[in-house]
Structure 1
Amino acid sequence: MELFVRILEVIFPVMAVVGVGAWAGRRHQPEMAVANRLNIDYFTPALVFTVLANGDFQIREFTWLAFAAALSMIATGLIGYVTARLLNEDPKTVALPIMINNSGNLGIPLALLAFGKEGMAAAVVLFLVSNIFHFTVGPWVLDHNARVSAVWKTPMLIAAALGLACNFLGLHIWAPLMYAVRMLGDISVPLMLFALGVRLCDVQFSETTTSVVSAVVRPVSGIAVSAFLAWAMNLPPLQTAELILFGSLPPAVMNFMFAERYNQEPQKVASIVMIGNIAGLIFIPIALLIVLPR
């Protein structure tokens, strides 16, 4: 019983903020484009920088975790490709939402609530790996002529590079400045969840069979592949737990935005994302049941 209470304590704050966002989306139809842009360009980079620049964070400890995350995404992408073929769907429509999960909006808050501040470093590493795939592999799959070199100019990766540089060189940021950056970073997580709730209000159900199958394949394959890789690479317990939780996450909302941009059946992708995130209410607690200490 105590474990179920712990899972509820992790899930409830996340779903409550998403729920408030959904309610606000239905009631007020807020325009979130500016807020999302600010979060992507300022608040999330600030969060990434504060975690990576922290002297307690040692990037070498997470090399194998990053490698495992990359392999996990490649494996689930291939599984997504096979799933699309079996469903007679375009692999571009189905494979990317199965491969690229919601490591930002859900992954970071869940890691913070489940594992505390000790789990934030691993969550940020997983988030960065996912983002590199999202902004390189994603556009290339949707359009082989897309320029992916611009990803290295994004504020998030610049912040990551600066944070890692400070960490490697042992640089200590002036405490008041670091506190200011941390305050900006603290805006990121609740805004991610609120924006997710608002965004899900815009999504419509379509192609239910494809959406439901994808909603199940995404976390089941993610958990299975992540558990195998963690065992094969002998990852530490906390990193194993975070990788399995990472594997359970539903499709990223950004998949819909990319599908819209490249005109890749956006309504079908939106339905996959919507049903996938609803299915997360089942599969995320299952992952937490696996990884949380008894």
Structure 2
Amino acid sequence: MLIRIVSILFPLFAITALGYFVGKRLKPDMSHANKLNMDVFVPALVFAALANKEFHISEYMPLLGATLIMVLGAGVLGWVTARIAKVDPRTFVPPQMFNNCGNLGLPLAVLAFGDEALAPAVVMFMVSNLLHFSFGAWLLDHNIRIATVWRVPSVLATMAGLVVAVSGIEVWSPLMLAIKMLGDIAIPLMLFALGVRLNDSRITSVGLGVFAAVVRPVTGMLLAWGVMLLIDLPPREQALLLVFGALPPAVLNYIFAERYHQEPEKVASMVLIGNLFAMLFLPVALALALV
């Protein structure tokens, strides 16, 4: 079991570590690569997974509901925890709600559970992504226009993929192959960019960062356990939900905090330390999921 867990996690942390050391030594400007990834490669990955003729959204409605409960439940627990710890909820809650289901979650799902796990993992990513760009942005700025979420390329790709899946339209196979090849770029580039981004982050609030790094996966896995008691899910989706609960805060939380001037240094500490602590909590989650 230990060898299997190491073999699953090693590629993720190896590529992330490479990004960290390349970022430290060469200091590459990843802004253009990140924009291409978010605007082209990730949307291609999402569309290819959803528009696949073997994908049927009706099969994943329980998982969709379970993920929604997970994200919103993490927000409620995060708000209560922030009140008890006397931390600004707008600083603490988003990193608790929105985890790294893109950079780490998608590749981890495929490596741990095979290519068949990509579609349900994308469904979970879709729910989290939609909520992050709408409700998550509103948490930081109540004046934001929620309607602008439809301009986000990954959201547009989600809608397009669902339309193709529901309507039964069959995309021309050479075109689908081209889209899939573009999507294949997304996962390694996300991991590499994560490493570079972590190198740029600075730890200013160690205590808060460690506190959030422990609370996020512990409450996430407890939520997953509770949701699995309420919603009947296939074994593979139960395992995915447990791993989803253990994922660290998304790097996007730092980007949002910086954009809306919501204590970005504290959020950066939570994100950085949370992703470092993932090396402790993800093996635990995988051990439980693979039993």
TM-score when normalising by structure 2:
0.98
Match of 2:124 among 123, 126, 131: 126
Q: How far 1:258 moved relative to its partner? A: 0.5
Matching residue of 2:110: 112
Q: Which amino acid aligns with 1:215?
A: A
Deviations 1:71-118 (A, max 9, x none): 111111111112212221111111110111000000000001001111
Q: Confirm or deny that 1:265 pairs with 2:263.
A: yes
Matching residue of 1:279: 277
Q: Distance in 2 between matches of 1:10 and 1:216?
A: 22
Identity rate, percent: 49
Q: Distance in 1 between matches of 2:46 and 2:137?
A: 23
Q: Which amino acid aligns with 2:151?
A: K
Q: Which amino acid aligns with 2:137?
A: P
Q: How far 1:40 moved relative to its partner? A: 0.6
Matching residue of 2:250: 252
Matching residue of 2:159: 161
| Matches for 1:20-59 after TM superposition, within 5 Å | 20-59=18-57
Contact 2:62 2:232 in 1 (8 A): no
**What residue ranges of structure 1 are gaps of 5+ in the alignment?**
none
Q: How far 1:173 moved relative to its partner? A: 1.4
Contact 1:48 1:156 in 2 (8 A): yes
Q: Distance in 1 between matches of 2:138 and 2:168?
A: 37
Match of 2:142 among 127, 141, 144: 144
Matching residue of 2:240: 242
Q: Which amino acid aligns with 2:206?
A: T
Deviations 1:218-258 (A, max 9, x none): 00000110121022111111111111111100000000000
Matching residue of 1:75: 73
Matching residue of 2:87: 89
Matching residue of 1:102: 100
| Matches for 1:180-199 after TM superposition, within 5 Å | 180-199=178-197
Q: Distance in 1 between matches of 2:159 and 2:93?
A: 29
Q: Which amino acid aligns with 2:105?
A: G
Deviations 1:126-183 (A, max 9, x none): 0011101110111111111011211112211211122122222222211111111111
Q: How far 1:31 moved relative to its partner? A: 0.8
TM-score when normalising by structure 1:
0.97
Contact 1:87 1:210 in 2 (8 A): no
Equivalent residues, number = 291
Q: Name the SS for the 2:114 alignment partner.
A: helix
Contact 2:138 2:146 in 1 (8 A): yes
CA RMSD of aligned residues (A): 0.9
After the TM superposition, which segments of 4 or more aligned residues of structure 1 sit over 3 Å from their partners? none
Q: Distance in 2 between matches of 1:182 and 1:15?
A: 24
Q: Distance in 2 between matches of 1:257 and 1:39?
A: 15
Q: Distance in 2 between matches of 1:49 and 1:143?
A: 30
Matching residue of 1:18: 16
